[in-house]
Amino acid sequence: MKRKTWIRIGIGILSLLLIINIIASFYFYSLAIERGEKDFLNGNEDLEVSAETMDVLLEGDWRKWVDEQEFEEWTMESEDNLELKGYFLEAEKPSNKVVVMAHGYLGNAMDMGLYGEYYHEQKGYNIFTADARGHGASGGDYIGFGWHDRHDYTAWIDRIIETYGEDTEIILHGVSMGAATMLMTAGEDLPDNVKAVIADSPYTSVYDLFSYQMDRMFNLPSFPFLPSTSVVTNIRAGYSLSEASALDQVKKAEIPILYIHGNADTFVPTRMSEELYENTKSEAELMTVDGANHGEPYVVAKETYIDKVNAFLNDHTDW
């Protein structure tokens, strides 16, 4: 066979692979990042939790508590002109302390009532939570996985301080994607009012998380699919998968961070919190919870969880 024929065959194969990669990139963007229902998570064994946990998450008394509260609805325009929704609940007695909470992937602001009930009812704190862009009542046709959301939260923090005074003290508490969001926020130039971060089940970066899930869910290598998906994400959502890094942000953090992770987490592996902890610039602590799957530590070991959070805040703040 002539050399030119081999060259044509080679070019044809490379062209076909390129087309497949491009199609796959748009598919993975639509699958994970574009706003909408995510059927691929249905039946995912990595997200299975105990019947007891599922009962608490779906039917727990905290949901009735949330429904009974009169949250003040806040609206804000993001730096890229999205309408975002936040919800503030004042403490029953005047307090200068505010817990700012961030929910997980495909959730909404009121999911954080699971934690907010304790902070509000038992600790007497003001609480604030928001629908992340691409979620709930907030605008956006893509999911930011915390990267653009970090600027949204710095704006929410500024508004809280402006509304409630310069003596306002704030801690940040997030779960899963919300935890990564708060870690990304912690790497920004925050006002001194922000005292600490509680990060429950965070990932190191969006690229690391997708690489892990690409192998676990699809038995595919990250290359070449993730680099090309990152290009599509940058074009359509304005960020790359690698730049959306909680790991890079905690290397700049100035405020104390408490990491909490279930050691049975197979959706976001525990090693990600361990890596974050080892690379945190500020004071940091790590607690793992035996037998807890993704986002499950609070339900599996509620008293231990609360005790650890309180001890951490006592040690690193005046709360």
pLDDT tens digits for 202-222? Answer: 999 999 999 999 998 888 888
Cα dist from 204 to 39, 69, 272, 290, 294, whole Å = 24, 34, 6, 21, 15
pLDDT of residue 18: 61
Domain of residue 71: give its range: 48-205+244-316
**Residue 153 belongs to some domain of the structure:** yes
Residue 31 included in any domain: no
CB 161 within 8 A of CB 132: no
Least trusted range by pLDDT, from 23-37, 71-85, 185-199: 23-37
CATH number of the domain enclosing 59: 3.40.50.1820
63 domain residue, yes or no: yes
Asked, for residue 237, whether it belongs to a domain, the answer is no
223 in any annotated domain: no
Q: In what order do the strands lie in the sheet with 284-289?
A: 72-77, 83-89, 126-130, 97-102, 169-175, 194-200, 257-262, 284-289
Look at residues 179, 86, 154, 155 and name the one whose alpha carbon lies nearest to residue 126. 86
User: Does the residue 177 lie in any domain?
Assistant: yes
Looking at the 3D structure of the chain, how many domains does it have? 1
In this predicted structure, what is the pLDDT of residue 13? 60
What single-letter amino acid sits at 224?
P
What is the Cα–Cα distance from 120 to 90, expressed in whole angstroms? 8
58 lies in some domain: yes
Give residue 60's pLDDT: 82
Q: What's the confidence (pLDDT) of residue 221?
A: 87
In a domain, 117, yes or no: yes
Question: What are the structure tokens assigned to 96, written together?
Answer: 């200068």
Mean pLDDT of all residues in 133-140:
97
The structure's pTM equals 0.93
Q: Determine the longest span between alpha carbons in the chain, in angstroms.
A: 86
pLDDT at 189 over 90: yes
